Amino acid sequence: MTNTTTPRPGRRSLTGAPLKVMLRRMSSLHLTAVSQFERAADLLGISDAHRAILSVPENEVIVNFPVTMDDGRVEMFRGYRVQHNNTLGPFKGGMRFSPAVDIDEVRALATWMTFKTALAGLPFGGAKGGISIDPKAYSPSELERIVRRFTFALGANIGPDHDIPAPDMGTNAQTMVWMMDTYAQMGSIADRHTVRRVVTGKTIAAGGSAGRDKATGQGLTFALGAWANRQGIDLDDKRVALQGFGNVGEHGARTLVKAGLKLVAVADHTGALHNANGIDPEMLWRYKSTDGAGGIAGAPEAEAIDLEDFWRVDCDVLVPAAIENQITAERAADITASVIVEGANGPTMTGAEPILADRGVTVIPDVLANAGGVTVSYFEWLQNRAGDVWTLADVDARLRRVMTDATLQIMSTAETYRCSLRDAAYVTALERLTTVLNQRGMFP
Q: Which residues bind ligand NAD (CB under 6 A)?
A: 167-170, 216, 243-249, 267-269, 321-323, 343-345, 370, 373
Q: Which is nearer to ligand NAD, 246 or 365 (CB)?
A: 246
Report how far residue 49's alpha carbon sits from residue 241's, in angstroms, rounded to the nearest whole number: 42
Which residues have a catalytic role annotated? 128
Contacts of 315 (CB under 8 A, 6+ apart): 239, 240, 241, 264, 265, 336, 337
Report how far residue 135's alpha carbon sits from residue 101's, in angstroms, rounded to the nearest whole number: 12
Q: Which is nearer to ligand NAD, 47 or 218 (CB)?
A: 218
Judge whether 164 and 200 are in contact, CB under 8 Å. Answer: yes
Q: In what order do the strands lie in the sheet with 317-320?
A: 303-305, 271-274, 262-268, 239-243, 317-320, 339-341, 362-364
Q: Please, what is the minimum distance in Å from the beta carbon of residue 336 to ligand NAD?
A: 19
Q: Which is nearer to ligand NAD, 218 or 383 (CB)?
A: 218
Q: Please, what is the minimum distance in Å from the beta carbon of residue 268 to ligand NAD?
A: 3
Coil, helix or strand at residue 94: strand
Q: Which is nearer to ligand NAD, 169 or 263 (CB)?
A: 169
Q: Please, what is the minimum distance in Å from the beta carbon of residue 248 to ligand NAD?
A: 4
Q: Please, what is the minimum distance in Å from the beta carbon of residue 321 to ligand NAD?
A: 6
Q: Please, what is the minimum distance in Å from the beta carbon of residue 267 to ligand NAD?
A: 5
* CA angle, 117 then 101 then 33, to 5°: 45
- Identify which of 292, 259, 265, 260 has the alpha carbon closest to the alpha carbon of residue 277: 265
Report how far residue 213's alpha carbon sits from residue 147's, in angstroms, rounded to the nearest whole number: 20
CA 339 to chain centre: 19
Comparing every residue's Cβ against ligand NAD, the nearest one is 246
Cis ω before 281 (30° cut-off from 0)? no
Q: Which is nearer to ligand NAD, 208 or 343 (CB)?
A: 343
Q: Which is nearer to ligand NAD, 225 or 373 (CB)?
A: 373
Judge whether 220 and 248 are in contact, CB under 8 Å. Answer: yes
Q: Tell me, letter by letter, the H, E, C secondary structure of 3-44.
A: CCCCCCCCCECCCCCEHHHHHHCCCHHHHHHHHHHHHHHHHH
Pairing mode, if any, of strands 74-85 and 59-68? antiparallel
> Residues 31-37: contacts with CB within 8 Å, 24+ apart?
32/108, 32/346, 32/349, 32/350, 33/107, 33/108, 33/111, 33/112, 33/346, 34/111, 35/350, 36/422, 36/423, 36/426, 37/111, 37/115, 37/426, 37/430
Q: Please, what is the minimum distance in Å from the beta carbon of residue 212 to ligand NAD?
A: 8
Q: Please, what is the minimum distance in Å from the beta carbon of residue 13 to ligand NAD?
A: 28
Q: Which is nearer to ligand NAD, 13 or 218 (CB)?
A: 218
Helix (H) or strand (E) holding 53: helix 48-55
